[in-house]
Chains A and B, each alone.
Chain A
Amino acid sequence: MSDNIRTVTDATCTFCGCVCDDIVLTVDLDTHSITKSQNACVLGKAWFKEHSIEERPRALIEGREASTEEAVEAAAHILADARFPVVYGLSDTTCEAQRVAVSIADMIGGTIDTTTSVCHGPTGMAFQAGGESTASLGEIRNRADLVIFWGGNPAEAHPRLFARYAVTPKGMYVPNGRKDRTVVLVDVRRTPSTPVADIFLQVKPGSDFEVLWALRALVKGRKVDPSVEQRTGVTLAVLEDLAARMKACRFGVMFFGMGLTMTRGRHFNAGALLALATDLNEFTHFVAAPVRGHGNVTGADNVVSWQTGYPFGVNLSLGYPRFNPGEFTTVDLLVRGEADAALIIASDPASNFPKAAIEHLRRIPVISLDPKSTLTGALSRVAFTTSTYGINVAGTAYRMDNVPLPLRPAFDSPYPSDQEILTAIRARVSELLGGNRLPVGPVGPSPARSAS
């Protein structure tokens, strides 16, 4: 290690939705690397350690090295020519970059979508159907005496959720920390998170909806058929006990994750949980908290929402925003072969999308922005190397509970930020199109139908 060391305090880790902002980074400015990340969990440590500066071409066009200017030109032409382009990704970049991405989608009349559509999109849809009762993480830490984790494995995916926010820390009204809390964990199998729980409910795979539905009925004092035991693997007695605890607590919280949103039932699973938390407010103060994945996916939701009115899967082809998950979400656009170009920012769909979607990505011109070499970059017609948010680039990121936090970069990168590249692309597209594409077709849907 050299003598050229810098310490960054109160740095923000953007690996997962916990967005912990108490990291102390030790940065070796000579080697452009982070040698220590105090307070970070194992995932955060890996995140900080991995992001050193690699020697890579600034840009590639069809696999050969190109200058940033050439690549911007090529990218701009692809986007200006496209009839049904999709702008996707965005969860691992700053809000500032996300705003530019949405403006490009608006300018070219494309679709803007984020990784929410393959993650907590169902939660967003459930939220739209009925709302939700929720709270900031500090509120939960200070007050929650009943903490339920449903369909997630925080010990491995969000390690500090237990330690910093929800299980062990002392709070204003939870002065004894863990001792003042009852922790319940609901999952289809035992995981490294299970030992944390006072009560573990093992439910049969694909039966979370029935369990939540039965709890809703019990909370409301309605009849529940005993067949629920066979269906879910949980006895009525256990459910009745849990319902009673939920009603009796002083401040309850249900954290939930992919175990609900990405299994059969999806937005109905999430909807049932949100509705249960809402129902419980007849008796006590109860909140639900979706546990978000990538660092700034919440920011992506927020930016797309405030700029268009809708959180993800937003189509702008006609000249104004339209929202319809399944119709305008990226996996579906690709699987159906509808998108004719893609701009992918800080995401690697080629590594995790369904096969049919990846095959279509190979057929269309793809522009990608990423600090790292990825499968998506490998199949892109135009690939930009950008710098990493939170490590090289300042800006804003939102924690899973909607709290906006500033990023404190550790060291500079020779590569441009996503925001810079997107801004350059937008400027060139604007020249090519003469500003925004004008609206086409009938403006707006027909007048609203009469209320029944």
Chain B
Amino acid sequence: MSLEFTQHTLPTVPVEAESLSMASLAGLSAVAAAKLTIVHGNRAAEVGDFFHVAGAPDGEVHISGDLSRVKQVGAGMGAGRLVVHGRAGMHLGTRMTGGEIVVEGDAGDWVGSDMLGGRIIVRGNAGHLVGSAVRGERMGMQGGEILVFGSAGNEVGGGMRRGLVAIGGDTGDFTGVNMFAGTVAVLGRMGARPGAGMKRGTILAMHPAEMLPTFSYACTYRPVFVRLYLAHLRALGFPIADAHMAGPYRRWCGDAIELNRGEVLVLDTNSGTPP
């Protein structure tokens, strides 16, 4: 039996719901959970003002409703499983270190900001800045996995330090911008300027992309680690085709403005032909 939250009232203004997280809900009864403080605009409110709460705490939390105005769901969670049956708001899973968050619908901007570990799954679309650095900060996510089955916006994996981001659909501009390390895999089409400023790290793209003039073509090959990553994604439910597994991949090195140790691997549909 899990703890079940069913939305009965839509917030009129944004709600900050750090307490809708395993960390705060651990061991709480439904009654106690309903009394947790959340912030509605500039006023304190209770979870119960927006959700009916039922069930018992057993390590799983299920939230149903339109949470597109509810921010920071899953903040700081370290263990357990949280499922949003509906849309989620901004800053989903911010600062999480472990456990799993699943959103059946779309998620807002800043999915997994400041993330250290754990897994976030968004079945719908995500917004901008998935796993990306907050303004002024140099680094984005430092660990964990963010898996978006739909599309995502700009700056996916910006300043990423470690971890895996996989986007089933398209991404916006500046995918993997200023990456330090880690992997961003995009099954759909990337927008403009992927990998700008990247220092290390890997961007894995299944469609041709326009590379910045500071990237240079290196070779076409079939790296083993790509098969391992794709097999992992396939097991998680991403539509990985055999052609994706087979490759080969054209390897672009960059960003020459930085260390030139980053790579963008683009699925080569004319197998084996050099540029």
Contacts and interface: CB of A to CB of B under 8 A. Distances in A.
Contacts of B192: 206, 264-265
Contact of B69 (A110, A338, A449): A338
Contact of A441 (B18, B95, B128): B18
Contacts, number: 123
A213 B41 contact: no
B41 A452 contact: no
B41 A317 contact: yes
A446 interface: yes
Interface string B76-103: 1000000000000010000100000000
A442 interface: yes
B250 interface: no
Interface residues of A, number: 47
Nearest to B161: A452
A109 B42 contact: yes
B212 A340 contact: no
A128 B44 contact: no
Contacts of B134: 324
Contacts of A77: none
Contact of A338 (B13, B16, B260): B13
Nearest to B38: A441
Interface of A: 82-84, 108-110, 125, 128-129, 206, 209-210, 213-214, 216-217, 220, 222-228, 231, 264-265, 268, 316-318, 323-327, 338-340, 437, 440-442, 445-446, 449, 452
Interface of B: 12-14, 16, 18, 37-44, 69, 75-76, 90, 95, 109-110, 114, 116, 128-129, 134-136, 139, 142, 161-162, 173-174, 177, 192-193, 196, 210-216, 256-257, 260
Given A326-B128, A449-B116, 19 more contacts: A217-B213, A217-B256, A222-B214, A223-B214, A224-B213, A228-B213, A268-B177, A317-B41, A318-B16, A324-B135, A326-B129, A327-B109, A339-B13, A340-B12, A340-B41, A441-B16, A441-B38, A446-B76, A446-B95
23 contacts: A83-B42, A109-B41, A128-B135, A213-B214, A217-B256, A222-B214, A224-B213, A224-B256, A225-B216, A227-B211, A265-B173, A265-B192, A265-B193, A268-B177, A318-B16, A327-B110, A441-B16, A442-B18, A446-B75, A449-B114, A449-B142, A452-B139, A452-B142
